[in-house]
Amino acid sequence: MKIAFVGCGYVFDIYMRTRWAHPELEVCGVFDIDAARLSTVSRHYGFDVYPSYDALLADPAVQIVVNLTSIRAHYLTIRRALEAGKHVYSEKVLTTDLDQTRELFAIAESRGLVLTGAPCNLYCDAVSTMWKAVRDGAIGKPLLVYAELDDNPAHLMELEKVQSPTGAPFPYAEEFQEGCTVEHVAYHLVWICAMFGPVTSVTAFSKALVEHKTDTPLSPSDTPDFSVGCLDFENGAAARITCSWVAPRDHRLRIIGEQGEICADNAFHDQAPVHLERFSRVSLSARKAYTVRTQPLIGRIFGIGGRRLPLVRRWKSHAVEAERGVGHSLKHRFVSWLRRREVYAQDKLLGIAEMTRAIDEHRPQPMPADFLIHLNELTLLIQRAGTTGIAMKPQTTFTRFEPLTDVATSPRDYRTSYRPHFFERLLAGTMVALHKR
Ligand SMILES: NC(=O)c1ccc[n+]([C@@H]2O[C@H](COP(=O)([O-])OP(=O)(O)OC[C@H]3O[C@@H](n4cnc5c(N)ncnc54)[C@H](O)[C@@H]3O)[C@@H](O)[C@H]2O)c1
């Protein structure tokens, strides 16, 4: 498939990190309204540059426009691409106006085009593993999700000094103006809604807590930097999602079922370790003890945290296991290795790869339009809840869908392959005795 990028800012370099693993995506060229940025990107990656967006859209070779522009430019950029007959893959959030989002999908449908977009962590190994384990019944009936997206106290992080490997400044002003919820909550909504279905009620709270995040004037200056959304799902499950630029970093994903818990440590790491704990009287009671709770190695003996699951491997799993072509210096390579190992690793091209694979195989898109519209609405409901938030009923819904076939049919059964820890089994009787007079 032939693709072209519009918008070559900070996130563009993240897309480029895994390009080596996607030879099927042929880049025809790039365009950005910032000429300096365009020439840097062209020099660094060797891409052809279009003189204008019109020129990009007029190129008959381009089949997919990948929109990485700033959020405020999304609506027009996407609309023009669709009107020019191109499929579109867009960064999130598609737009910050539900009617505009609906309009874009209506244009795409009327022209037989695909409109889809980020986040694509739904397809990554860690989320695929969690989804397969839930479907295997590893935690019994899933009941509750706790999802965190605290991204550190932004005002202390000197974000003004953060740059991508080719020197694009981190767009901190835009991030503050759009807000942590609009920027981040979809990383959780995408997997939670895919697994549990449509949301029938949202009770949310959002507030701007840190008054002064930067000396740069912001407009608006009071976008919430904290939100919590409680979601009621049609299937009976519930979720609580927290986003902030106030609390220290915590990107955990947890699914609690009647029989156990599945958790992953990092929503921003495609291969984050996934742990399954099947609850036992031992592991649940041991948590009451301070030392057991606060010393992970001791906790493990009692079954707290369960077992690390072998990850489902997908067709592009290798993409985040190496990086070629973004930075060449020793420092770049060291930082890249450290980041992939410890901090985050995302294959942002995976969404485009899954999109093109579905087009090539004449299959429906793995993320249907009604699903993406629903995520868009939920994002805006949570962001705009304010401090007097009450339960809100979303106007939108979607038809539930299955995981991709290779995930659904992965041969490993996470329920039957689970073994409790030795001590957990040994202490089962003792725990009963300790709870008696
Ligand atoms: N920064 C991140 O870590 C990150 C991560 C994931 C997703 N995103 C999303 O990616 C998108 C881009 O974010 P970013 O961080 O790269 O922002 P950025 O400001 O660094 O880059 C945006 C680029 O788009 C260009 N641009 C703006 N309007 C344009 C237009 N009309 N035509 C052509 N080019 C235009 C700008 O000149 C700029 O180079 C946003 O939707 C954001 O939410 C960002």
User: What would the pLDDT profile of 272-299 be if each residue is shown by its tens digit?
Assistant: 999 999 999 999 999 999 999 999 999 9
pLDDT at residue 18 in the model: 96
pLDDT at residue 61 in the model: 98
Same domain, 151 and 38: no
pLDDT at residue 325 in the model: 66
Query: Which strands, in side-by-side order, build the sheet including 199-207?
Result: 307-308, 274-278, 260-264, 253-257, 142-150, 238-244, 226-233, 199-207, 391-392
Confidence band of 324 (pLDDT split at 50, 70, 90): confident
Evaluate: CB of 57 within 6 angstroms of ligand 1: no
Give residue 310's domain range. 121-408
Domain count, the chain: 2
Mean pLDDT, the chain, rounded, equals 96
What is the position in ligand 1's atom list of the atom closest to the CA of 183?
43
The answer to whether residue 421 sits within a structural domain is: no
The answer to whether residue 429 sits within a structural domain is: no
Q: How many CA atoms within 13 Å lie on the side-chain side of 84?
A: 22
Same domain, 40 and 142: no
Dihedral pair phi/psi, residue 251, rounded to 5°? -120, 35
Ligand 1 centroid, distance to 382 Cα (angstroms): 23
Which of 117, 152, 181 finishes a domain? 117
Testing ligand 1's pocket by substitution, the residue of 10, 216, 251 carrying the most ligand atoms inside 8 A of its CB is 10
Whether pLDDT at 326 is above 70: no
Protein residue closest via CA to atom 25 of ligand 1: 7
Same domain, 196 and 254: yes
What is the position in ligand 1's atom list of the atom closest to the CA of 37?
39
The answer to whether residue 167 sits within a structural domain is: yes
Q: 3-class DSSP state for residue 282?
A: helix
Residue 168 makes CB contacts below 8 A (sequence gap 6+) with 8, 9, 10, 12, 13, 37
User: What would the pLDDT profile of 65-118 be if each residue is shown by its tens digit?
Assistant: 999 999 999 999 999 999 999 999 999 999 999 999 999 999 999 999 999 999
Protein residue closest via CA to atom 33 of ligand 1: 32
d(CA 235, CA 215): 46
Evaluate: CB of 91 within 6 angstroms of ligand 1: yes
Q: pTM of the full predicted structure? A: 0.96
167 is written with which tokens? Answer: 């020197």
